[in-house]
Chains A and B, each alone.
Chain A
């Protein structure tokens, strides 16, 4: 063994779209220890809840992250509704699930493109992102936005999707599904993908449990943890929901879980479209959360479980709003996955946890 050396990785690195720093302690080409650091872009968005009332803050919440924008606005609204005892109309619950699952598809396909780019499969990267554009087109037609949608309000949603648009969405998703299966085959069967991912960055089931990992990162280590199983909102209306799991715990398993979750999300949307009831899309919400009232909520974002906490102070301004995002929960797991890997695999392992630093540094 050679002498231990510390190699700084990031915060600026070609594989990282956002600033994450790792101190990699290496001996020869093997990483002995990895110490993660964030904190380069802390924005203080949680503090803004003091100067924006609970209706205005929804627009701040959805700007926490460009990929999970819808999920954050939905999670925030659900938390405030829980705090104030508001029951939203059933149609709004279905619409929220449809948009949230579309967000998951676009997040996963974006990530698959980035992963393909990281292991040098450029054409696969382009196919993924071309497919993602079609999902963004659905967003544009139904919400008017491609990144920030602003369709959630406390008490429901602000826009409906009519029957013609729902039928069109179903037709487009059928087309996407056919094309996606080809991309999925490349990810799951191509030898060049397997060479870079199989047996790399393994996390055992026990370690995943011990690190309280969440999201596809945990499910790839056979941890049956998916907040959608809790049946909050429209997810309680699903006939049957079983999380996608894999037991291998390596980078390939993480690719596989996300790849299969895209198909699962398309099935969920189709089920929601077939079952969506007619009716109102929002209820008026008046008053303010009581002083000292507090509640918590869990939402399964594309990258994993997100925890929301809210406390009222009797005014329209919340006393505290907190979002614990999946990446902050997975940093310890990432450090564990990196210990013992080859230096050349670091970028692949970091990517397969799908870190979102803008979510983490709200």
Chain B
């Protein structure tokens, strides 16, 4: 048997027909769960037949939306429907064994809908990380071809120059790059000097590691380019 999991969208209106069809077709009810999201409650109904586990998902159920019970087809769902009502405040109608909100003895009403500060922080951090990643990818996508084009154009220009002049231009450019790197390093040192020594040591170590990684990456790229050039030469011969 090869275990397979499938997720499929579902609407509230489709739920009774789905439950009836699954029952008629010999599927078994596995579970029902809720997920509290910013857009409402997501409800997932799982059914299984042979080796296929199907999860049908109703997205963003709003407070007050009546959800029909499936206990007419699957009596065992009464546990999950009462649980969803007590923990998430989902309004499920016509449950075969309805505890009317007294299924769980809880200190707080609908506790699973409370967004804890930790959860809020995790969500915001994840959002920020996703936004930063997207911005970085976008910037890399725009900048990479430009830098490559600039470098190629400069090389072509230098190739057409008098060799002595070209060497001078290259030396001037290298000096400029070094000056810029030194200015950048000085700015970082100044920033680090204002930090707690322990934190400063950590930041320095992280920066050095980053520099080492970038150098290794550059070296590898150069080696790869050399190899590609050699291969191209061999092919040409």
Contact = CB atoms under 8 A, between A and B. Distances in A.
Interface in B2-36: 2-3, 5, 7, 26, 28-31, 33, 35-36
A313 B122 contact: yes
B78 A332 contact: yes
Interface in B37-64: 37, 44, 46, 51, 53, 55
A315 B126 contact: yes
A39 B103 CA distance: 6
B118 interface: yes
B118 A212 contact: no
List the 7 shortest-distance A-B pairs measured between CB atoms, nearest first. A314-B126, A324-B31, A39-B104, A332-B76, A230-B3, A212-B28, A50-B119
Interface string A23-61: 000000000000101111010101100110000000000
A211 interface: yes
Interface in B95-130: 97, 99, 102-106, 111-112, 116, 118-119, 122-123, 125-127, 129-130
By secondary structure, the A interface counts as mixed
A316 B46 CA distance: 26
Interface string A309-330: 1010111110110101000110
Interface string A189-232: 00000000000000000000111110000000000010001111
Interface stretch (A99-107, A162-170, A294-302): A294-302
A37 B118 contact: no
Nearest to A329: B76
Given A212-B74, A314-B129, A331-B76, A39 B105 contact: yes
B97 A315 contact: no
A294 B116 CA distance: 21
A317 B130 contact: no
Given A211-B76, A314-B130, A329-B76, A295 B5 contact: yes
A301 B44 CA distance: 22
Interface residues of B, number: 45
Nearest to B115: A50
A232 B37 CA distance: 30
A16 to B, nearest CB: 17
Interface residues of A, number: 47
By secondary structure, the B interface counts as mixed
A210 B116 CA distance: 39
Contact of B53 (A296, A328, A329): A296
B29 A212 contact: yes
B104 A42 contact: yes
B75 interface: yes
Given A296-B53, A298-B3, A298-B53, A322 B33 contact: yes
Given A211-B75, A212-B28, A42 B106 contact: yes
Contacts of A305: 30
B1 A229 contact: yes
Contacts of A314: 126-127, 129-130
A333 interface: yes
Contact of A50 (B5, B29, B116, B127): B116
18 contacts: A38-B79, A39-B104, A42-B104, A46-B112, A47-B116, A51-B119, A211-B75, A225-B28, A229-B1, A230-B3, A307-B46, A309-B44, A314-B129, A314-B130, A322-B31, A324-B30, A329-B76, A331-B76
Contacts of A294: 7
Given A40-B105, A313-B122, A333 B76 contact: yes
A291 interface: yes
B118 A42 contact: no
Given A232-B3, A317-B118, A296 B55 contact: yes
Given A331-B76, A333-B76, A47 B3 contact: no
Contacts of B112: 46-47
Interface in B49-93: 51, 53, 55, 74-76, 78-80, 86
Nearest to B6: A296
A50 B80 CA distance: 21
B51 A230 contact: yes
Contacts of B106: 42
A210 B97 CA distance: 17
